[in-house]
Amino acid sequence: MRKWFIPVAVLAAHLATAQSQNTSSEPVKTKAPTNWFNLDYSADNVRGVSTEKAYELLKGRKSHPVIVGVIDSGIDINHEDLKSVIWKNPKEIAGNGKDDDGNGYIDDVNGWSFLGNKDGRNIDKESLELTREYARYKKLFDGKSEADIPADQKDAFTYYQELKIAYNEKAQESKMMLPLIENLLKTYQESTATIKEYLKKDSFTAEDVSKIDKTTADAKVKKAISVLERGYQMGYNEKELQEGLDHYKTEAEIQLNTDFNARKEIIGDDPDNTADHNYGNNDVIGPDARHGTHVAGIIGADRTNSLGVKGVADNVRIMVVRAVPDGDERDKDVANAIRYAVDNGAQILNMSFGKAYSPQKEAVDEAVKYAEKKGVLLVHAAGNESKNTDEEPNFPNRKFKKGGEPNNWIEVGAISWEPNKVASFSNYGKKGVDLFSPGVALYSTVPGSKYEELDGTSMASPVVAGVAALVKSYFPKITAAQLKDLLIQSTVKFPEQQVNLPGGDGQVAFGELSNTGGEVNAYQAVKLALEWEKAGKIK
């Protein structure tokens, strides 16, 4: 699921403060340094991944192109900073309406979409998996009591009861948040208009607001200043509030709508039939490619031009696999997306999506095992719910339903550019999360040859995928299992450092949030790869 990234907890905190009439005068939140995820801590005092420093170690060394599959919402393959790094299927002839390479997918020149049909129509919005599961079990058990349930259906009935509680809580939260954020947006817009009028400017900055003399300003201006400064401190603006309002409207009208079924109307397949592989279309951009385009730029935006942003990896080919709607992705599509990418040569997959339920988890597990067998590294975002995924699972994950784990999976949490600060939204887990990576205010590509800052573990994951691709391109013989171990072993570790607990109060040792207590680092990864090569470990 691709998500709006101001967490509910942030808005709730704001609303609680506003209701208590606390007009905090904390300093305005500092802005993230440009391109901070590529910077180096010792040189720049920012916990980036030391990308440029890593390339210093690699001077004079030949690189090899690495295919990185991006399973996401779609990618703007014509973006000025991406078009040179988009994968092209060498065996497919564009536009001839034939399956030239015999892989079962017609005209898959740059990848494939499992969210479209042969007529060119595409799924954009989808319901939550919680909604789909609740609707499915409601048909079986609605109106029945435990006394009515046969012994062989007791477990299913218990599951339905759990779904019902979770669904009702989610629906209630959505019902509460919609008017609150609508009011917050209205107040913010009114405050913006007030300050524009006061300053006699069509636009203004946070610095302009901070310089207003409150001793001479009237009550209306003072209130507007308070509203805007609170927004600066909490990290939101009018654009993000509008996106938040749109998010909650979509959640209420579609994601929690038990009758919504875009799948049936557009694709017409059986989403539970995971043995079905040949559906979709070659529209890899789709109706909303913002999320996937941003992810792709972090991994490998052209480093040789003077445009926009530099991706982490300098020799990649981005394979586009569209499987993530605005809503929860289907397990069938995820499994097929992994298999498609593996079969067509991807060496690394980035998976910046997740959900709370996985009814066809075994199909996804089999696809992960297939990727493991073929030597493909999987990099996955831990999620943005500020929760401990050791206790509340986020799917997909590396724990197989039938037991065991693969050796090719890396789970990624998000850190901020600010010293010793974990992203407030990031999921974590002493067992389930491997490492942390930059994931707050990352500047990257978005559709239309534009650029934008976004937050999320969705942004942290491609930083790791980019580092993995960087290493793989200069050390092509390294295996997926070795690459995973190398990235984990080379993390910059500070397990005893006290950091904020995502979604909670107080501090916690950083080592309690992942199994390494570390952050990914390109320089340290390359340094270790050189040592392994010298020792004959990479052959």
Model pTM score: 0.93
Residues 345 and 405 in one domain: yes
Whether residue 146 is contained in a domain is answered as: yes
Q: How many domains does the chain have?
A: 2
Residues of the domain holding 189? 130-252
3-state secondary structure of 389: coil
Q: How far is CA 416 from CA 48, 195, 519, in A?
A: 9, 30, 11
Residues 414 and 478 in one domain: yes
Per residue of the chain (539 residues), what is the pLDDT tens digit?
655 444 444 554 444 444 433 333 333 346 889 899 999 999 998 999 999 999 999 999 999 999 999 999 999 999 999 999 999 999 999 999 999 999 999 999 999 999 999 999 999 999 999 999 999 999 999 999 999 999 999 999 999 999 999 999 999 999 998 999 999 999 999 999 999 999 999 999 999 999 999 889 999 999 999 999 988 887 788 888 898 899 899 999 999 999 999 999 999 999 999 999 999 999 999 999 999 999 999 999 999 999 999 999 999 999 999 999 999 999 999 999 999 999 999 999 999 999 999 999 999 999 999 999 999 999 999 999 999 999 999 999 999 999 999 999 999 999 999 888 999 999 999 999 999 999 999 999 999 999 999 999 999 999 999 999 999 999 999 999 999 999 999 999 999 999 999 988 889 999 999 999 999 999 999 999 999 999 999 97
Return the ∠ at Cα 415 (arms to 413 and 416), rounded to 5°: 155
Whole-number pLDDT of residue 1? 63
Give just the sign of the alpha carbon dihedral 269, 275, 279, 280: positive
Q: Are residues 517 and 510 in contact, defined by beta-carbon separation less than 8 angstroms? A: yes
Residues 421 and 528 in one domain: yes
Measure the CA–CA gap between 292 and 2, rounded to whole angstroms: 9
Other CB atoms within 10 A of residue 426 CB: 31
Whether residue 113 is contained in a domain is answered as: yes
Whole-number pLDDT of residue 505? 82
The conformational region for residue 97 under phi > 0 = left, psi -120 to 50 = alpha, else beta, is left
Return the ∠ at Cα 47 (arms to 41 and 50), rounded to 5°: 60
Among the candidates 224, 252, 280, a domain finishes at: 252
Whether residue 456 is contained in a domain is answered as: yes
Whole-number pLDDT of residue 131? 98
Residues 501 and 450 in one domain: yes
Whole-number pLDDT of residue 360? 97
Whole-number pLDDT of residue 518? 96
Residues 308 and 234 in one domain: no
Whether residue 150 is contained in a domain is answered as: yes
Residues 117 and 170 in one domain: no
Print the SS3 string covering 430-480.
Answer: CCCCCEEEECCCEEEEECCCEEEEECCHHHHHHHHHHHHHHHHHHCCCCCH
Task: Confirm whether 291 is a catalytic residue.
Answer: yes
Of 411, 413, 417, nearest to 440 (Cα)?
417
DSSP codes of every residue in 100-142? TT-SS-TT-SSEEESSB-TTS-B--B---HHHHHHHHHHHHHT
Whole-number pLDDT of residue 24? 31
Among the candidates 190, 217, 252, a domain finishes at: 252
Whether residue 15 is contained in a domain is answered as: no
Q: Are residues 307 and 289 in contact, defined by beta-carbon separation less than 8 angstroms? A: no
Residues 372 and 232 in one domain: no
Task: Confirm whether 14 is a catalytic residue.
Answer: no
Q: Which single residue is written with the structure tokens 């792709």? A: 296
Residues 81 and 207 in one domain: no
Burial annotation 212-222 (CB, 10 A radius, 16+ → b, else e)? beeeeeeeebe
Whole-number pLDDT of residue 10? 52
Length of the chain in terms of residues written: 539
Whole-number pLDDT of residue 359? 98
Whether residue 8 is contained in a domain is answered as: no
Residues 6+ apart with CB under 8 A from 214: 222, 225
Whole-number pLDDT of residue 244? 87
DSSP codes of every residue in 488-529? HHTSEE-TT-EEEPTTSSSEEEGGGSSSS-EE--HHHHHHHH
Query: Which one from 191, 458, 490, 514 is the annotated catalytic residue?
Result: 458
Query: Which one from 40, 50, 63, 72 is the annotated catalytic residue?
Result: 72
Measure the CA–CA gap between 525 and 533, rounded to whole angstroms: 12
Task: Confirm whether 124 is a catalytic residue.
Answer: no
Whole-number pLDDT of residue 416? 95
Q: 518 pairs with which residues across the strands?
A: 493
Residues 50 and 154 in one domain: no
Measure the CA–CA gap between 392 and 339, rounded to whole angstroms: 27
Residues 94 and 81 in one domain: yes
Residues 87 and 169 in one domain: no
Query: Which one from 291, 333, 358, 444 is the annotated catalytic residue?
Result: 291
Whether residue 298 is contained in a domain is answered as: yes
Whether residue 2 is contained in a domain is answered as: no
Give just the sign of the alpha carbon dihedral 317, 319, 325, 327: negative
Residues 87 and 236 in one domain: no
Among the candidates 207, 222, 252, a domain finishes at: 252
CATH number at residue 66: 3.40.50.200
Whole-number pLDDT of residue 36? 96
